[in-house]
Amino acid sequence: MQYCSTRGGVRGWDFREVLFSGYAPDGGMFMPESLPLLSPDTLRSWKGLSYTKVVMEVASLFIPPQLIPRDHLEVLVGEALSGFSVPEVVRIARLKGGLSVLELFHGDTLAFKDLAMTCTVRFLNYFLQKENRRATVLVGTSGDTGGSAIQSAKGLPGLDMVVVYPRGRITPVQEKHMISCLKDNVHVFAADGSSDDIDQPLRRLFADQELVKSHGLMSLNSVNWSRVMIQLAHFVYAYLELSGVKQDDVGAALPELEVVVPTGGAGNIAAGLIVKQMGLPLKLVAMVNSNDIVHRMVTSGDFSMAANVTQTLAPAIDIQDPYNMERVFWLLLGRDGAKVKTMMEGFQRSRRHLLPENHRRLLSQVLSTGTVTDEGILETMKSCWEENQYVLCPHTAVAVWHHYHCPHSAQLNRSDMPSLNIQSYHLCSRCS
């Protein structure tokens, strides 16, 4: 398995090289040069596997045994996911009216990012110990990535970590997760502006390859391929649990599963589209708050940043620069690095890009979207509680709004196609 840049200037890197990187040297993001196929027989054979086993199987598709032998990989994944508060690591809540919610918040910081972060840090530590070297991690966060990265990496002797968060734009709980860490290898700073503003200087730092190499700089944001790779397992596990696929239905067509995802930086949506291209039968819906660049892009081709990031009740997705969309564009444009390079460099210069109609149509064929106001978030949380006595965090309410306000789609899904909503956070992690 070899990796390339979405902008075409880098090819032939291995997993270890990609793991210890941020952006590619040409400014792009790393992706596998070719995607492995999830055949119907493979998916049926995985039916009944635990979440941890699914993560192991997915990771082994992208990490060759020459780099991490399979028995070592199994230990690393098992250790990474052993500290979650429920033995199954993730849970699916089956609620009234056909509503299902995938609970990804049972880690230490009550955020879905704990799942991929714990695994990624284990992989890093494996190579650092093996090679007796150090690395410096740079993390820009809208609130949740920073806490998760700190919790996963604090105290590790081979890692120094610098975390920057937007002052006044995260919840007190998120802030306390970060600033209360007293380990010598963790350094946390508040900066003015939004998380999008923080991302820009970090991107420029990673563009300086001499600086990156001399200081061993790397990223634990979802620009890091390992983060996205582990998130593929969310979709595979949910599909095996909810779609109705059976081990003994050899030759039968695989049923489809709708997955509704609260979307900010688009890492989960990128993972969903990647695993869809690998053969998993998904219908993907990206739901956003008032920072609606992904919705505008799919519905009208308007991929442009608003003048300001709007602060909402779902602050972790208050993002106007969904950088993982670069991976999506690369997939949809036939892996044409030159086209992606032209598009993304233009977007970074002017903060806007109008998708050609044929590109927009390609995107809308694989991704539906919707947008939710703060009022809609509160209304959805209230409705879900009244019907199910089940508490949604505001981010999950962005996704579950689709269940309550797309009645034609919901009616269809309940009879023919199961539907799942991603629960990214526990409410307590988002208290203000």
Q: What is the pLDDT of residues 95-112, one digit of tens each?
A: 998 899 999 999 888 888
Query: What is the pLDDT at residue 316?
Result: 85
Residue 239 forms part of a structural domain: yes
Q: Would you give per-residue pLDDT tens digits along the chain (432 residues)?
A: 999 999 999 999 999 999 998 889 999 999 999 999 999 999 999 999 999 999 999 999 999 999 999 999 999 999 999 989 999 999 999 999 889 999 999 988 888 889 999 999 999 999 999 999 889 999 888 777 888 889 888 888 888 999 999 998 888 888 888 888 888 899 999 999 988 899 889 888 888 888 988 888 988 888 999 999 999 999 999 999 998 888 877 777 889 999 999 999 999 999 999 999 999 999 999 999 999 999 999 999 999 999 889 999 998 899 999 999 999 999 999 999 999 999 999 999 999 999 999 999 999 999 999 999 999 999 999 999 999 999 999 999 999 999 998 854 444 444 466 778 887 655 544 444
Residue 67 forms part of a structural domain: no
Query: What is the pLDDT at residue 21?
Result: 87
Q: Give the distance, in angstroms, between the CA of residue 1 and the centroid of all CA atoms in the same chain.
A: 21
Query: What is the pLDDT at residue 425?
Result: 57
Residue 71 forms part of a structural domain: no
Query: What is the pLDDT at residue 181?
Result: 83
pTM for the structure as a whole: 0.90
**Domain span including residue 395:** 91-110+226-430
What's the domain count of the chain? 1
- Write the CATH number for 266: 3.40.50.1100
Residue 135 forms part of a structural domain: no
Residue 324 forms part of a structural domain: yes
